[in-house]
Structure 1
């Protein structure tokens, strides 16, 4: 464990966070913050389950809601889920705050990661989809801790001399951009396969790096594809999946990517 921690601190092992980091996170009113596909669907649909076909994965359910109510509804609803209630910074972010790794990938859609680095200069990259002006599916911001404001910068201005926070599925802040419905994911993944999902400097930086996957559900097709595209060229790494038996899809992804599974929950690993 000490070896893994040292690798995270020095940037040779990159934290890759998924929705599962919210498993033990409740808002001050006692409601659960969505931590997996099913709970995200219930949140998007006002607590009501949807048909079995739509319950397969939240992107599919979100696409159905978008077709009926419009894309703006999905954007506003996603923002409402993660912005309308107060909740303590989940344990994994409190842990990251202790040593602030130079590069973190976070596929959640709230602003917890930004709070970790709110006292430091850093760059934030958020995903974006379904735009026609450019192939790039990201926006880059630089944060000024003195003004507490983010300013957009060009990809050529991105450097690795300050921490980089990569939120490929978007975020509530500084602007509401979310990759949440099937149409969003199809567009983002298509451009990701063409090399347009992340700046070139990160494609160089990620070479020969390891990753530690925390709260990532490899049993879901969409997030295996997202993880695969972002970590191309990975050296291997670790996953935190506390199960007696992995699903075939989980086992295949872990095996083919030379990942060692640590049979612990995220919070247990941190402790």
Structure 2
């Protein structure tokens, strides 16, 4: 059976059905009818050893090389970052995070293809800035990036900052074609990082009523669903953010994941959020999403019309 509804109410599509679903999702992306939500697993499409950390645990390890945190928290990125912030100052934490994510990451064919599309909204769930780099390659001027920012520096009632692709801080934005939303911040252009426990205290207090999420993001998700690719949900923080970002969106929602490797918490989250699992390796799914023969160095290639996408 290629499509199953498991006993815990999780819908999984496999094999031929998974490939067919990816083709429909390709069309939906090209037609701006679904929102890509990108995660750090995409970093491994170019290399088995990516130039920057691709998991919270890898960030923890990189921070521990700079100053050793207590053993009880050593593998928890948020707690290690909080330890550094308290012992060494916020500026030190920000400097170290900028160093850790300072190596350039080449966009994949998927990033490059997405950057050519007139997509209303893309969510980038990691700090590496690869999607931003893909947009910069195209020379587009109709894209802005909204990044989550810490309030530890006394920023007042500010949850995000907005930048154009040149790195300029843009206070007022009228109606860009594409919004790139990086809810946890990004290394480029200004090293904004939500990473320590204290960074998230106020955000998590307010996020259930959606205050930290930009109005433009809320508007653009209303009549669309989300496609998660390169994402895991094996940490409560990641689940909270994903749940709140897709809140009040129309759906349907899909996630490219290895169904066999899901934790119990991931399965509960996916089922409760009505997210269909497309059971394929990330690399295979990414290859299926990019149209055959597409040109991805800033030149437009052919794309599908999106007319056959259905939520079934």
Give TM-score scaled by structure 2 length.
Answer: 0.75
Q: Which runs of 5+ in 1 are unaligned?
A: none
Structure 1 residue 212 and structure 2 residue 227: aligned? Answer: yes
Candidates 65, 71, 80, aligned match of 2:99: 80
Aligned 1:22-33 pairs, distance under 5 A: 22-25=43-46, 32-33=51-52
Candidates 259, 263, 266, aligned match of 2:279: 263
2:122–2:181 Cα contact (<8 Å) kept: yes
User: What is the number of residues matched between the two proteins?
Assistant: 261
Candidates 222, 228, 250, aligned match of 2:266: 250
**CA-to-partner distance for each residue in 1:57-99, whole Å, 9 max, x for gaps?**
311221122222221111111111111x344224542342353
The higher radius of gyration belongs to 2
- The alignment's C-alpha RMSD in Å is 2.5
Shift of the alpha carbon at 1:180? 0.6
**CA-to-partner distance for each residue in 1:152-188, whole Å, 9 max, x for gaps?**
123xx342x4111111111122212110111112222
2:254–2:277 Cα contact (<8 Å) kept: yes
Q: Which runs of 5+ in 2 are unaligned?
A: 1-21, 288-312
**CA-to-partner distance for each residue in 1:200-232, whole Å, 9 max, x for gaps?**
232122113211112222110001011111111
Q: Which residue of 2 aligns with 1:60?
A: 79
SS at match of 1:166: strand
1:21–1:92 Cα contact (<8 Å) kept: no
Q: Greater relative contact order: 1 or 2 (C-alpha under 8 angstroms, separation 6 or more)?
A: 2
Candidates 29, 33, 44, aligned match of 1:12: 33
Q: Which residue of 2 aligns with 1:236?
A: 252
CA gap of 1:231–1:135, structure 2 versus 1, over 3 A, is: farther
Give TM-score scaled by structure 1 length.
Answer: 0.86
2:146–2:181 Cα contact (<8 Å) kept: yes
Structure 1 residue 188 and structure 2 residue 210: aligned? Answer: no
After alignment, is 204-213 or 16-25 more displaced? 16-25
Shift of the alpha carbon at 1:49? 7.8
